Structure 1
Amino acid sequence: MNFIEAIILAVIEGLTEFLPVSSTGHMIIASTFMGIESGDFTKLFTVAIQFGAILSVVVVYFKRFLQSWEFYKKLAFAFIPTGIIGLLLKSHIDALLENVWVVATSLLLGGIVLVFVDKWFAKNETEGTEEVSYKTGFLIGIFQCIAMVPGVSRSAATIIGGLTQKLTRKAAAEFSFFLAVPTMFAATAKSIWDEKELLMKSSDNEWLLLIVGNIVAFLVAYIAIRTFIAFLSKNGFKAFGYYRIILGAALIILLLSGINLQIVD
């Protein structure tokens, strides 16, 4: 992986991690067309730069993370389903990660769902709430478990989960961002711990790629989060739905054409 490839992957991570479009699908396409080998350092890089994306949420919503212990207790409660299911089904999840057909199909079907989400939950914008209870948080956490299927998108699953609990689009999206912090931190920290020997053996150039990657992912994610909330409040999910349908169809066409697609994250 060279410097330009690292920056491109970091931009993709920052741009797609918190949008309901699946970062996995974008990583597949980008790595394939750039010819990046799915080696140990590439996998470590795509995991490690998530720290930059996580930090962007904390910075954007800095005051919310300082408001009360109640906020953290709700996040912890919402994280429980993912923590349990993730530990119990890790081997099955890893197996799904090797199947690009699963990613492509999830993108396509998820896109169809997003096209109709605004219509299904239209009343939320006038009759919904912005208050997340413990029950609501826990149920959103259950929806987050669906995102363990590659291509579903953690953001899409948790936002839709919030909408089913009568949250407004803005409130559902913001809680999705908040829940990403413990979820992504736990997953990223575990992956890095598992690859700690590789990390310690990394060259100076590889460490530089990791540092730059995290900075780029942070900056892009910061902009993406602020832009997404404004766009979502005004326009809803339909555009993201159509985009996912196009992306999923593109992956399926590439697969049917015999192109070898590699998952790097």
Structure 2
Amino acid sequence: MSDWLAAIILGLVEGLTEFIPVSSTGHLLITKEMLGLTDPKWDTLIVLIQLGAILAVVALYFQRLWKVLLGLASPDPWARRFAISVLVAFLPSAVVGLLLHDFIKTVLFDVRIVFVTLIVGGFALMAVERWAPAPREDDAMAFSFKTAGLIGLFQCLAIIPGMSRSGATIVGGLVSGVDKRAAAEFSFFLAIPTMVGAFALDFWESRDMITGDFMGTIAIAFVVSFLSGLFVVRTMLDFVSRHGFAPFAWWRIAVGALGLVAVGAGWL
């Protein structure tokens, strides 16, 4: 397979899965394994294209995010409250991620772990959606600090590949009494500092892998990730409002089960 075709596939997988509760990292690991991309340069590409998906959120929410930035300069109590809530939700996973970074990369990045956590997370998502408390908060930009903190603790579960960052934060929101749509939207906002931080750390560690002859391939995957991320962010909230999270839960369970069968049969 040519490098540019592999880049398009990986860019699509990243953009289409980053903001839905199915685990983009898990799907990228599975895709890389299926395509036989063993060269370490593909790990570097996967790190870099995450920023493309995050820029999709920034582009679509630019006016609201810009309003927050202007409000912080004012200062505006609403803007300050929103910024602090995102910071409160971000800090737990930032601390855990830094402390366990090497363990995550060397031990947890195993497709068998991904398949198991996909299944476990799928059942958890269905259970929480069914038995979560009645929503008490429905504005993703006005959560209480207690709610933001609980969502941040749940995001720590996403250090396990296959668990899903967006899935963990959405479950945390539902458990906290947050409306489905608001839980999904807050996961978009929380993705910005979380993924930028992860990108910066991994980029620094992978900097020697970035060579001039591979930059074109990275650029293709980056653009595809951005465009497909735009599509998902534009459609995700309406989809969740109509169908809930069950379709994503069943997808996780199906992929995980098929993956375990493939591992057992020696196909992966």
TM-score normalised per structure 1: 0.91
Kindly tell me: are residues 165 and 122 of structure 1, through their superposed partners in 2, closer, same or farther at Cα, counting changes over 3 Å? Answer: closer
Q: Do the aligned partners of 1:20 and 1:156 also contact (CA within 8 Å) in 2?
A: yes
The count of corresponding residues between Structure 1 and Structure 2 is: 254
Letter in 1 for 2:50: Q
In the TM superposition, residue 25 of structure 1 has moved relative to its aligned partner by 2.7
In the TM superposition, residue 120 of structure 1 has moved relative to its aligned partner by 1.3
Letter in 1 for 2:164: S
Q: Do the aligned partners of 2:125 and 2:245 also contact (CA within 8 Å) in 1?
A: yes
In 2, Cα distance between equivalents of 1:258 and 1:9: 23
Q: 1:29-54: CA deviations, max 9, x gaps?
A: 322332222x2210100000011001
Aligned residue number for residue 186 of structure 1: 197
Comparing 249-258 and 67-76, the one that deviates more: 67-76
In the TM superposition, residue 67 of structure 1 has moved relative to its aligned partner by 2.5
Partner of 1:132, secondary structure, is coil
RMSD (CA atoms): 1.6
Is 1:47 aligned to residue 56 of structure 2?
A: no
In the TM superposition, residue 122 of structure 1 has moved relative to its aligned partner by 6.6
In the TM superposition, residue 117 of structure 1 has moved relative to its aligned partner by 3.0
Aligned residue number for residue 15 of structure 2: 14
Is 1:102 aligned to residue 113 of structure 2?
A: yes
Is 1:197 aligned to residue 208 of structure 2?
A: yes
Aligned residue number for residue 85 of structure 2: 74
Is 1:153 aligned to residue 167 of structure 2?
A: no
Q: Do the aligned partners of 1:116 and 1:238 also contact (CA within 8 Å) in 2?
A: no
> How high is the sequence identity, in percent, across the aligned residues?
40
Pairs within 5 Å for 1:18-167 = 18-37=19-38, 39-68=39-68, 69=72, 70=80, 71-121=82-132, 123-124=134-135, 127-130=136-139, 131-167=142-178
Runs of 4+ in structure 1 displaced over 3 angstroms? none
In the TM superposition, residue 222 of structure 1 has moved relative to its aligned partner by 0.7
Q: Do the aligned partners of 1:96 and 1:150 also contact (CA within 8 Å) in 2?
A: no
* Gaps in structure 1 of 5+ consecutive residues: 261-265
Q: 1:134-176: CA deviations, max 9, x gaps?
A: 2211211111001101110000000111111111111111111
Kindly tell me: are residues 32 and 92 of structure 1, through their superposed partners in 2, closer, same or farther at Cα, counting changes over 3 Å? Answer: closer
